[in-house]
Amino acid sequence: MSLTERKLIPAIVSFLLSAALFPAAPASAQTLFTVDGDPVSKEAFLKAYKKNNSREATSAASYKDYLELYIRYKLKVRAAYAMHLDTLPGQRTELQNFRSQVSEPYMTDEESMNRLVNEAFVRGQKDIHLAHIFVALPKQASPFDTLRAYEKAMEAYGVLKKKRGFGETALAYSEDPSARTNQGDVGFLTVFTLPYELESQAYALTPGQFSKPFRTRAGYHIFKDLGERKAAGKIKVAQILLTLPPGTTDAAREAIRVRADSIFASLQKGANFAELARTYSGDNLSYQNGGELPEFGVGKYDSLFEAMAFSLTRDGEIGKPFLSSYGYHILRRITRIPFPRQLSKETMAALKGDILADPRMELVRKAMINKIYRQAGFTPSLYSQTDLWGFTDSAARNRGLPSYHNLEFSTVLFTLGRRQYTVKEWLDYLQTLRNSRPGLLSGKSNPEVFEQWQRTVALDYYRSHLEDFNKDFAFQLNEFKEGNLLFEIMQRKVWEKASTDNAGLRTYYDAHKDKYWWEASADAVLFTCNNEQTANLLRQRVAADPASWKRWADSAGAAVQADSGRFELTQIPSPGKEKIDFVVGRFTPVTKNMADNTVSFSYILNIYKDRAPRNFKDARGFVINDYQNFLEDQWVAGLRKQYPVKVNEAVLASLTK
C-alpha cells in the first residue's frame, strides 16, 4: 500500500466525523465509474477528493491521479464484501457504535434550530427595560377563576389606555408581590432571561408601548417596554457581602455599614480582595472562592445588584459599598464579556447550547416530530378514543384484561413507516413508565401520555432507519463501514503477510539490494529531554561516564528518552540550518523541538562518512514497506481482472467544468 493511499484511510474517517456536523450539499448523482457493473457516483468521488485534497488546486491531472487511488480503494472494499467481512461481529459492533455516536446531529430539525439561533442573536443585541402587571390563575383553574382573572387583566388594560401611569396601575392591579416595592418595574432583561413565550411578547414591543393582556398557564400578563439599550452582555465579579440578618437593629446595621467602609478603605490601599472575602463575606456560595461569582447577564440577579456590577467600567475596579435587601455588597470587576456582534460559528455553537438547555427547544422537537411524521408516513387508525382510554384505565387495574369493547391487544393504533403499533405496545409502554419512570406520568392525562408515546416511537423509528431518510447520513455510514472493511482486508491480504513472510522478505531484498543504502551516518545515542535544564545535567553526567549513558537516562524516568543505533546524519536533530561538525566522543548541540517544547541532543560513538549498502537487518523496515506495496499491487491487479472497472470519460471530463 503506497504512502498516499495509506493516508487516505484515516482521512476518510476524519471526513466522516466532520461531515456529521457540517454535511456537504448534494452534488450530481452521475456515475463516474463502475466496479463489476456496480456504480460509484460522481458525488461520492468529489466528497472524498475535496476532503483529501483541500490544499491542492484542482485540475484534470489531480482528479485523474486521485481517481486511480479511489478505484483501488473501491476494488479492495468489493473484495471485502465478497469475503463477507461485513458480517464479522467486530465489524457490526463498530458500525453500530459509530452510528450511535454520529446520529444525534441528524435528530434535530435544523431549519427550526437555525431560526431560533438567528432570532436569539437578533434579540441578544439589545436589553429591554421591562415593566409587568400580573394577574394569577390557580393551578387547577375553573372557568370562573379564568373569567375573573381575564376581567381583572382587561380592566387594568383599560386603565392604561386611559393614560394612567403603569406603576400606579401595577400597584392597583398586579398580583406579583414585588409590585408593592418596584411598581411593576422588573429592570432590564435580555434573551434567555424569561420563558420563551414571555420573551417573545417583550421583544414584540417598541419603546413606550404596552401589550394587551396575554395568558400563560400561570395567569395573565401585561408588559410595557420602558426603554431599550445596547446589550450589556455578561460580567464576572467577585463580591464581599456583609449580611443583615432578619431583625437587625439600627445600631447593628450602622456597625455593619462602618465595617463595610473600613473593608473598602483597606482594598483601596491594596489589601487582597480574595483574602478579605474569605474572612468577612457572608455569601456561603462564593466566599471560599475569594468571592468570585459565576459570570452572569442582565435579569439574573436583583436589578440594583446588576446595575452596580455593570457600572464598573474596567477590570479590577472595586465599587463602593452599597446596600441591598441582603446586606452591604462590595464588588470587584473581573471581566466583561460583550454580546457578540457577528454570528460566527463560535457564536452559533454557543447559542445552540443555550437553546438546547432552554424550554424553547421544545419547538425544535415538535418540528422534528412533524418532519418524521411526514417523511416516514404517519397514519392513525380509526378507533374510539373513549374506548382506548377505558381500556387503558381498566388494564391498569386488571392486567389480564384481553379486550375492551371493540379493542383488543392486537388492534393497530397507528402506522409509522413499515411498522404498525398496537394497543398492547401502548399498554406495555404505560406499564414500563409506572414501574421505572413514574415521574413521566405525573399530572398527565391519558391523551398527553399517548402523544408522548407516539413521539418516543417516532424518534426511535427515525433513528433506527436514519439512512432511509437522510442522504448525508447514509453516505457517512457507508463510508465508515467501507473504511473499516478496508482495514480488515488490508490486514489479511497485505500487512500481516508482509510482516511475517520472512522468506518472501529475504527474496525481495536479494532482488532489490541496490535500493537499500546507508548515506553518511553515525552510531549515536539520541537523547530527548523534557526541558533544557534536564538536558544540560544529563550531558554533564554522560560526558563524565559515557559507558553509563543508559543508567543516567533511566534514572531520570519519564523526563528523558534515549535511543541508540545507527542513524543517517540527516536524521540526527540539529538546530535549524546550522551545520554540525560530527565528532566521535562529542555531543551535538541541544536542539529545541517546537512541536512539543522538548529538547534533543546526541552523543556520537562512530562515524561512517562513505555511502554503504545496508544489510538485510538494517534494511528490514524499508523492505517491509516496499514488500507491502509489491504484494498490494499484485493483489489489485488480480482484482481488476476479477472485477472489471469502467470509467465514464464524459463524467470524468465534467469534473473540471
Query: Which tens digit of pLDDT belongs to each residue from 199-227?
Result: 999 999 999 999 999 999 999 999 999 99
Of 230, 247, 262, which marks where a domain is finished? 230
- Which positions ≥6 away from 113 have C-beta within 8 Å? 352, 355, 364
* Cell of residue 126, nine digits: 439589545
pLDDT of res. 12:
38
Query: Number of folded domains in the chain?
Result: 5
Does residue 5 have a pLDDT over 50?
Answer: no
Specify the 3-state DSSP secondary structure of 629. Answer: helix
Does residue 143 have a pLDDT over 70?
Answer: yes
Specify the 3-state DSSP secondary structure of 439. Answer: helix
For the segment 489-515, the average pLDDT, to the nearest whole number, is: 95
* Residue span of the structural domain in which 4 resides: 1-124+473-510+614-657
Residues 399 and 278 in one domain: no
| Residues forming beta bridges with residue 227, ordered by sequence position | 129
Map 146-194 to HEC letters. HHHHHHHHHHHHHHHHCCCCHHHHHHHHCCCCCHHHHCCEEEEECCCCC
| Residues forming beta bridges with residue 602, ordered by sequence position | 526
- Which positions ≥6 away from 44 have C-beta within 8 Å? 475
Domain containing 145 — which CATH number?
3.10.50.40
Q: At 6, is the pLDDT very low, low, confident or very high (cuts 50, 70, 90)?
A: very low
- Indicate whether this model's pTM tops 0.85: no
Residues 198 and 56 in one domain: no
pLDDT of res. 564:
95
Does residue 29 have a pLDDT over 80?
Answer: no
Residues 409 and 432 in one domain: yes
pLDDT of res. 199:
96
Does residue 22 have a pLDDT over 60?
Answer: no
Residues 139 and 219 in one domain: yes
Question: Per-residue pLDDT tens for 526-561?
Answer: 999 999 999 999 999 999 999 999 999 999 999 999
H or E segment and range at residue 403: strand 403-404
Of 287, 319, 337, which marks where a domain is finished? 337
Other beta carbons within 10 Å of 519: 12
Does residue 16 have a pLDDT over 80?
Answer: no
For the segment 248-266, the average pLDDT, to the nearest whole number, is: 94
Does residue 24 have a pLDDT over 60?
Answer: no
- Compute the distance between CA of residue 232 and CA of residue 297 in angstroms, rounded to an integer: 7
pLDDT of res. 517:
96
> Would you mind telling me the total number of residues written for the chain in this entry?
657
Residues 500 and 645 in one domain: yes
Residues 204 and 278 in one domain: no
Residues 120 and 5 in one domain: yes
For the segment 76-87, the average pLDDT, to the nearest whole number, is: 97
Residues 504 and 626 in one domain: yes
Residues 196 and 302 in one domain: no
Residues 109 and 20 in one domain: yes
Q: At 228, is the pLDDT very low, low, confident or very high (cuts 50, 70, 90)?
A: very high
Task: Give the dihedral of Cα atoms 246, 249, 251, 252; nearest 10 deg.
Answer: -20
pLDDT of res. 344:
95
Residues 216 and 272 in one domain: no
Domain containing 42 — which CATH number?
1.10.4030
Contact 223, 230 (CB under 8 A): no
For the segment 259-264, the average pLDDT, to the nearest whole number, is: 96
Q: Which of 480, 468, 466, 471 is nearest to 28 (CA)?
A: 471
Which of 18-22, 465-469, 504-508, 514-518 is predicted with the least confidence, judged by mean pLDDT? Answer: 18-22
